[in-house]
Amino acid sequence: MEQLSLHRRMYDRGLRLLLRLAAALVCALLAGLIGVIFLQGLPNLTWAMLTSEPSVIRNITGILPNILNTVALVAGTLLIALPLGVGAAIYLTEYAASHRLAAVIEFAAETLTGIPSILYGLVGMLFFCQKLGWGSSIRAGILTLVIMILPTIVRTTQESLKTVPQSYREAALGLGSGKWRMIRTLVLPASVDGIVTGCILAVGRIVGESAALLYTAGSAAVLARSLGELLTTSGGSLTVALYMYSMERGKIEVGFAIASILMVLTLLIDLSAKLVGRKLRRN
Amino acid sequence: MDALEAKYAAAKRYSETAMGLVFLLCGVLAVAFVLLISAYLILSGLPAIREVGLLDFLFGPVWAPTHKTEPQFGILPFILTSVYGTAGAVAVGVPVGFLTAMFLSKLAPRRLAAVVRTAVDLLSGIPSVVYGLVGMTVLVPAVRRVFRLPSGATLLAAILVLSVMILPSIISVSETALNAVPREYEEASLALGATETETWFRVSAPAASSGIAAAVVLGIGRAIGEAMAIMMVAGNVANMPGLFKSVRFLTTAIASEMSYAGVGSLQRSALYSIALVLFLFIMLINVILNLWFKNKREG
């Protein structure tokens, strides 16, 4: 280093410092966000709030209905999107004989990934709520989210299907197995970790989604008495509740309490995706 | 071949054909969804544009849909706000994101890189309403105090929130591009006497430029489509954009009036037309991204 001119030495030092500063800024942003949310959210998060239905008359703030709505949205969306997404991925990697059709499908999936969630919300509202006459309801929210997360599941499943060695397939087909049997008994079991990772990513997107849900699933916070009622009536997710409490009702402290729940969920989802990913690499 | 065997073979053939068809249907579904979304946005977006007139709609400077005598439907303020807001977010977010990606790819020891990468992943997982809430309670008051404004809910606050929100995708795509630079390029540069930083910035970065450009386009797509976080920090007044003015983006213009615009009114169909304009912007970005990746694969 001693032979370098002063100018080059300064350039080197300065850029190294700049790189470290940028990375430190990113970490500080995350630490700051987590700090602000937990400091203002956790003190406001009470057991009573988690387990009760809100009531204006009795002056109770409760988010239990929103928690249940979120669970219903996650479960319902995965239940429908998982088979469809895995099926599409299987078609693309195992069946697609015509390259042109496969290219069209992949382009469509790319396009779906790029569409902003507010547009999903709008089309979901026009189609499910108005055209089909379902009104604001959890089922309209679920189907809107299915369209939205389909590409995520297709892409991750496709990636893990591609990691199954071609020799497995040739061995199975050579022994006289049909294609479907080969997929069912060999290819799918070998790529289950990747599919699980896709599901976890999808859960993360569903839990964090708000714009697509506001006009499809609505913002109500009433406890449903049956599964049928839950699916056919309006219900706000945790994110929508956060928005309503902090923007429309001016109860920032409730917003922060919900934000801290969402942060814990984000941490858990990221952690479990990492664990599954690590297991995937080890195999 | 005896009867049993023939029966088994037939059953196998049927189930194989049936499953093949099922998977084909699943695959075609994605295409059907795209067609459904495009059809709905175009069909519901066109009537208001036809009624207002394309030029008056796109370049009209005043949005006053509920004015009693002369309602006006110009969305130029929204378009310009979206363009300026996105440009601002890219101007702030890309340098930080690029430098962080360079840090992760070249400078950081493995352990530290893993920690920073976790932080980036977590940032990308945080729901947009949470960004909005923190922006609204921390950033907006700070902007108001620092610049002595009557209200801090401004384009500036929205730009800052957006730039944080696009960081994760810029970092991860740029890092992938930087990692893909052939080792020989860097070794050749080092062997010629360049320092490590000179190599990173003058050899690796140009070699990874198409990947970094894709990261920028991806960031633009993210920023232009974000709605809820901006709703909470931008103030939502249909002004022409100014850094210290309360503004409305294309996305928030749709969201903020949807809940009260009467069904069947011109105001509501104008909101659908705004959605169509936003959709066209996004499709343009998608096409650019696709061409980019295609060129890279061929080149």
Do the domain assignments include residue B57? no
C-beta atoms of A262 and B130 within 8 A: yes
Query: Cβ–Cβ of B122/A30 closer than 8 Å?
Result: yes
Residue B84 lies in a domain: yes
Which parts of chain A register pLDDT below 70?
1-2, 281-283
User: Chain B partners of A26 at a C-beta cutoff of 8 Å?
Assistant: 96, 100, 116, 119-120, 123, 167, 171
* A12 shares contact with chain B (CB less than 8 Å): yes
Work out the mean pLDDT of chain B and round it to a whole number. Answer: 90
In angstroms, the separation between the Cα of residue B163 and the nearest Cα of chain A is 11
Contact at CB, B127 and A207, closer than 8 angstroms: yes
Q: What is the CATH number of the domain that holds B116?
A: 1.10.3720.10
- Assigned domain for B222 exists: yes
* Per-state percent for chain B, helix, strand, coil, to nearest 5: 80, 0, 20
Claim to verify: residue B126 and residue B270 sit in the same structural domain: yes
Strand partners for B73: B63
For chain A, what percentages of helix, strand and coil (3-state, to nearest 5) are there?
80, 0, 20
* Closest-CA residue to B163 (of B230, B243, B77): B230
Q: Look up residue A103 and give its two tokens.
A: 């290219």
Q: Which residues contact B12 (CB under 8 A, 6 or more apart)?
A: A178, A181
Which amino acid appears at position A86 of this protein?
V
For residue B67, give how far its alpha carbon lies from the nearest alpha carbon of chain A (Å).
24
* pLDDT, position B266: 87
Residues in chain A closer than 8 A to B132 (CB atoms): 243
Domain segments of chain A as ranges: 6-44, 47-282
Chain A residues inside the 8 Å CB shell of B131 = 33
Q: Using the predicted structure, report yes or no on whether residue B293 has a pLDDT greater than 80.
A: no
What integer is the mean pLDDT of B110-115? Answer: 93
For chain A, say whether B34 makes contact (Cβ under 8 Å).
Answer: yes
- Both tokens of A143, joined, read 């189907």
pLDDT confidence bin for B297, thresholds 50/70/90: low
Q: CB–CB of A37 and B130 under 8 A? A: yes
- Non-local (6+) Cβ contacts of B255 within 8 A are A118, A211, A214, B227, B228, B231
Q: Is the pLDDT of residue B247 over 90?
A: yes
**Cross-chain Cβ contact B96/A25 below 8 Å:** yes
| A36, A127, A270 member nearest B125 (Cβ) | A270
As a whole number of angstroms, the distance between CA A138 and CA A146 comes to 12
From chain A residues 30-59, the ones with a CB under 8 A of any chain B CB are 30, 33, 36-37, 40
Query: For tokens 């990261």, what's the residue?
Result: B215
Residue B206: per-residue pLDDT: 93
B247 three-state secondary structure: strand
Q: What is the mean pLDDT of residues B133-157?
A: 93
Enter the ipTM.
Answer: 0.91
Question: Domain range spanning residue B27?
Answer: 3-52
**Residue B231 touches partner A, C-beta closer than 8 Å:** yes
Residues of B in contact with A83 (CB under 8 A): 26
Q: Give one word for A176, left, alpha or beta, with left for phi > 0 and alpha for psi -120 to 50.
A: left
Q: Is B23 on the interface with A (CB under 8 A)?
A: yes
**Would you call B234 an interface residue with chain A, using a CB distance cutoff of 8 Å?**
no
pLDDT at B75 over 60: yes
Half-sphere exposure of residue B37: CA atoms within 13 angstroms, side-chain side: 28
Residues of A within 8 A of B277 (CB-CB) are none
SS3 A60: strand
What is the pLDDT, as a whole number, of residue A86? 93
Whole-angstrom distance, CA of residue B122 vs CA of residue B132: 16
User: Chain A, 242-271: which have a CB under 8 Å from a chain B CB?
Assistant: 242-243, 246-247, 252, 255-256, 259, 262-263, 266-267, 269-270
**Any A CB within 8 A of B115 CB:** yes
Cβ pair B24:A150 closer than 8 A: no
pLDDT of residue B192: 93
Task: Compute φ and ψ for B72, nearest 5 degrees.
Answer: -125, 140
| CATH of the structural domain A47-282, one choice from 3.20.20.80, 2.40.50.140, 3.40.640.10, 1.10.3720.10 | 1.10.3720.10
Residues of chain A with C-beta less than 8 angstroms from the C-beta of B173: none
| Contact yes or no for B130 and A154 at CB 8 A | no
The pLDDT, as a whole number, for residue B1 is 55
Is B62 within the bounds of a domain? Answer: no
Is the Cβ–Cβ distance between B219 and B89 less than 8 Å? yes
Q: Which of A128, A180, A254 to mutate to test the interface with B (most CBs of B within 10 A)?
A: A180
Least trusted range by pLDDT, from A230-234, B195-199, B282-286: A230-234
Q: Establish if B80 belongs to a structural domain.
A: yes
Residue among B210, B218, B251 at smallest CA distance from B85:
B251
Report if residue B64 sits inside a domain: no
Residue B256 lies in a domain: yes
The per-residue pLDDT for A76 is 95
Most confident of A159-173, B42-56, B155-169: B155-169
Residue B210 and residue B81 share a domain? yes
Sign of CA dihedral A230, A231, A234, A240: positive
The two three-digit tokens of residue A189, written as one number: 């079991």
Tell me the C-alpha to C-alpha distance, in Å, between residue B250 and each of A244, B14, B86, B127, B280.
21, 51, 11, 20, 12
What total number of domains does chain B contain? 2
Give me the pLDDT at residue A49, please.
Answer: 81
Q: What pLDDT does residue A283 have?
A: 61
Mutate to test the interface with B, among A112, A243, A244 (most CBs of B within 10 A): A243
- A204 touching B (Cβ < 8 Å): yes
- As a dihedral over the C-alpha atoms of residue A237, residue A241, residue A242, residue A246, rounded to 10 degrees, the angle is 160
DSSP secondary structure letters along B243-290:
TTS-B--HHHHHHHHHTTSPTTSHHHHHHHHHHHHHHHHHHHHHHHHH
Residue B112 — pLDDT band, cuts 50, 70, 90? very high
Closest CA to A258 of A44, A83, A100: A44
Question: How many Å from the N-terminal Cα to the C-terminal Cα in chain A?
Answer: 44
Contact A40 B23 (CB under 8 A): no
Report pLDDT for A261. Answer: 93
Determine the pLDDT at residue B291: 79
| Chain B residue whose CA is closest to A102 | B27
Query: How many other β-carbons are positioned within 10 Å of the β-carbon of residue B12?
Result: 15
Token look-up 């599954």 returns A276
Question: Under an 8 A CB cutoff, do B289 and A114 touch?
Answer: yes
What's the distance, CA B184 to chain centroid? 35
Q: Using CB atoms, pick whichever of A22, A30, A154 lies closest to residue B103.
A: A22
A-B contacts at Cβ under 8 angstroms: 252
Both B47 and B158 in a single domain?
Answer: no
How many angstroms away from the CA of A279 is the closest CA of chain B? Answer: 17
- The C-alpha torsion from A14 through A16 and A18 to A22, rounded to 10°, is 180
Substitution target in A80, A90, A123 with the highest count of B β-carbons within 10 Å is A123
The predicted-structure confidence for A246-270, as pLDDT tens digits, reads as follows: 988 888 889 999 999 999 999 999 8
How crowded is the C-beta side of A173, counted as CA atoms within 13 Å?
A: 11
